[in-house]
Structure 1
Amino acid sequence: MTPRLEDVTPANFDAAIGIRIHPDQEHAVQPVVRSLAEAYVHPAGVAWPRLIVDDDRPVGFLMAFLDIDWYGDGSVRRSGLWRLNIAADAQRRGYGRFAVDAVADLVRGRGGTEMYVCWHPGAGGPEGFYLGLGFRPTGEVTEGETVGVRRV
């Protein structure tokens, strides 16, 4: 496995929006096209969308959030993993861990010491995955999702 991250460009846009997770996970994460639309409408530098490619095969998509005003009042700024979509046939091969580590490296490189993620609780959700990578619930809930944090 030698995955890498690529910018989403006109040349790979169709591959990016073609990433399909397991149908039973669709309730827990938005499709890639929604993430790219959200990246477009946020100020430059807030969203960091990337295609995960291994051996020229698109296997997933991630989007980080960088230095956002968490509460909208200027009191707290956070960075972390906003979205993670790993193709159904590429799951359980380390691509999710690769994506989380890539965002941790990005946050650390920008001077951060913690990264955040939110997950849909319940059956079929990614809670076990994130807990296994060292995230711990903060006790916060945003839009019905559990907020987790880990040191980078």
Structure 2
Amino acid sequence: MNTALRLEPLTPANLDAAIALKVRPDQEHLVDPVVKSLAEAYVHPGVAWPRLIVDGDRPVGFLMAFLDIDFAGDGTGTDIRSGLWRLNIAAGEQGRGYGRFAVRAVADEIRRRGGTRMTTTWHIGEDGPEAFYLALGFRPTGELSGGERVAELDLI
């Protein structure tokens, strides 16, 4: 693995670079833009974990994890989950392993916090990223969230 590849917290110094990241035009309906993720991170402090994916000195992507949310949203705390909320790899940077790196980095953070499973969702359809997530070992749960397929990865 490229040792120059790392995650960086969002700061005033890299905010514009993060916002400027764009997926391919044919993927824009599959993932919200970085600016929406940053707004969600602002209103969900302590839950959202936004990070810039950097290769050397070049921003190549953005991820946002969610940590310990009440997935059912019913306030009972019976379905607490952590996982990958958003993944944006810049159009010209796709196919170079940055997405796999991002998923592994989120899995490592969840493990570091004591988690044993990682949840994500994806757009259903031929043009969606299902094959990517299945190849990484995610298993669909049979649930839908916001019209997207829910899947989990065991981290044990």
- With normalisation by structure 2, the TM-score equals 0.95
Q: Secondary structure at the match of 2:151?
A: strand
The equivalent of 1:143 in structure 2 is 146
The letter for the 2-side match of 1:58 is P
TM-fit CA distance, 1:45: 1.5
Aligned to 1:52, the other structure's residue is in SS state strand
| CA–CA separation in structure 1 for the residues paired with 2:50 and 2:90 | 16
Per the alignment, residue 127 of structure 1 pairs with 130
| SS, match of residue 112 in structure 1 | coil
3-state secondary structure, aligned to 1:123: coil
3-state SS of paired residue (1:50): strand
Structure 1 unaligned runs (5+)? none
Deviates more, 1:118-127 or 1:93-102: 118-127
Please, which of 87, 108, 112 is the counterpart of residue 111 of structure 2?
108
Q: Which residue of 2 aligns with 1:18?
A: 20
Number of residue equivalences: 151
Percent of aligned pairs with the same amino acid: 70
Unaligned 5+ runs, structure 2: none
2:99 maps to 96
Q: Which runs of 4+ in 1 moved over 6 A?
A: none
Tell me how far 1:75 sits from its aligned partner.
Answer: 1.6
Equivalent of 2:31 in 20, 29, 32: 29
Which residue, 5, 8, 23 being the options, matches 2:7? 5
- Equivalent-residue separation in structure 2 for 1:128 and 1:3 (angstroms): 24
In 2: Cα distance, 1:107 partner to 1:97 partner: 15
Query: Secondary structure at 1:45's aligned position in 2?
Result: coil
Please give the TM-score of this superposition, normalised by the length of structure 1: 0.97
- Secondary structure class of the residue paired with 1:16: helix
Residue by residue over 1:96-141, the C-alpha shift from the partner in whole angstroms, topping out at 9 and shown as x without a partner, is 0000000000001111110000000112211110001000100000
